[in-house]
Structure 1
Amino acid sequence: MTVLTLRALEKHYGSIKAVDHVDLQLESGEFMAILGPSGSGKSTLMRLVAGLEPPTSGDIIVDGQSVVNVPPQHRNVAMVFQSFALYPHMTVRDNILFPLVSRKVPKQEHEARLQKATSMLGVENLLDRRPSRLSGGQQQRVALARALVRDPELFVFDEPLSALDAQIRSRARAELRELHDQTRITTLYVTHDQVEAMGLADRVAVINEGRLHQVGTPQELYNDPADLFVAGFIGNPPMNLIPLDETTVAGLRPEHMLVDPEEDVPDLLIDLAVTIEHIEYLGSEWLAHGQARAVAGNGQQLHVIARLPASAHPGLVSGQECRMVGQRKDVCLFDRASGKRQVQAEVPA
């Protein structure tokens, strides 16, 4: 069953299209991440869904009903913000119960909902504290409990982990996914962090300059990017983008870039002479950064990256010349003018 549908949704600020004709569907129980760089329109999209701003045009349908003219307090949508937005003068108990009080939910339901939400998030021993006496991770769990107590049809998160210390962010991600797996509440999660998006979501919608570029599973985005923006944005380090000729750009993931192969490699499409700039040791792998001349022969300098296993030192040093190659089967091809992915039949021989 479809819980959220966005149809031709647009939001304009003067001549700027913050959200540009977005069509999107979330199925019941799905966890979808909206991923994009700063200023891409992802938070504006969240605010439209939550009812904090009206759309310029288009429709927002929740559980089969249009909510475009429905105020936020009357949408069964629970929001968790980057700042957590806890009331400092209230105890944890009162913060969590506030949505029930404001919506005039019968008092006899309060205690049962409170107990369910707090036990699920492990904050039942914090009920008499005020937010100032909580750690960042505790504040995040209280904000989640306040959203969960509403029993919403849809969760909307706006970068909820970015305010946390890096040390506890990984644990918080795991807790958030565990909460979703327990509740199966349909979730829209807005983030600029692809580790969060790829690690948490069932599907990821990549947005830039207000437009959706691709919607798919993390594996689909990584292995089969739909255009040059997705290819260059997804992955750390990102895909190597190498002009082949005036019309075609080749994309090759760093782990598929072979360095100084000792044997003949069949069916090569990429064959570069590279000058090593520097080598990074990251514990689990090496990254070899270098400069190469474009295959197209126009003299353009290209920055390329090869990912190598940590099991053996690559034996490369700054200034060294080497050869980096890629097989046809590992290459994605894109139209240089439109940026769109080419079909396999269009691969140059």
Structure 2
Amino acid sequence: MKIFHGLIKISLVIALFAVLPAVASAAPGIPHQFYGTVTFSGDSAPDGLVVKVSVDGETVGTSSTTDGKYGYSPDLLFAINETSDWSGETAVFTVGGVTASQTASLERGGYAELALTLSGSVGSLTVADGGSISNQVVVVTSSSPTQVSVGSDLAITISSDQNTSATITTVEELSSSFFSGATGILSGNNLLKGFEINITGDNLTISVTITYDDSGIDESTIKPYRHDGTSWVAIDPFTIDTSANTLTFSVSSAQTPYVLFGGSASVVVQATVVAPSGGGGIVADTIAATTTIRGDIDQNFKVDIFDFNIIMVNWGGSPTNAYADLDGNGKVDIFDFNLLMVSWAQ
């Protein structure tokens, strides 16, 4: 019996020693530490952006930015291997969701200063009137929205309740050739401004302000629209400032064209009415009547050779002057000419 118990003890000891190497091999390895500066297109990163180091898509360490730096006490950045020591694996770095240009080779107990540089803008991104923005990344912080502007025509404010980034695929003014077929100008309306605005990201609020020209336009009819792939859909709510000639609306993500449409203003015509007086004399009085003369493209209160010239200059499928498209079918053609002739000399 003693011999039997002894064999059991020996067997347990052997089994224990067999397991120990497996347990030891599963212990975390000595981490690789990183620290350094963070810049976006030469500008220091704002505070609070998350810095991640990843291997094969898996996050192995995090820190955050302070004073344009990362990995400094007390928020150190360690790349930790949970199962063994590092042995030359490639580390990829992201800041605020944007991938840095630099990578690093991970080593057991490594300690390295690494300056992270990233493409993108912090705070603002501006181009001149008529310009466009494409394939740009902007950093958005919870404490400071990012401003994107196209001259004086378009202002976009991108904000979030957390530190993140936004990808601007396209921001540009729509050309006249865009407005045909299903995307034609709404009947009875004039095109004031239109933009392609494609901005994506997580937890973003996007406020869009478009500046318009109110010449010949009834401002009470101006509304923003987006195209859903089939038709123009009115956006509500919105805010219009008729003094500054701006209209503002908000969206959670911007992936479709946006435009402002508005109807033509009425023309005030002064007329003198002559009628007999009660005593047999004649009394003359001047009254104001409101009317809209269809075909008065240049708004000079009559349809004449100048309006005809505008029709001819804009003849075809993509009118430069949307007012020349009298029937609102997205092109200037024989139907617009007929409408002009109906009102000729009025």
Per the normalisation by structure 1, the TM-score is 0.23
Between Structure 1 and Structure 2, which shows a larger proportion of strand residues? 2
Rg larger for: 2
With a CA cutoff of 8 Å and minimum separation of 6, indicate the structure with the bigger relative contact order: 1
Between Structure 1 and Structure 2, which shows a larger proportion of helix residues? 1
Per the normalisation by structure 2, the TM-score is 0.23
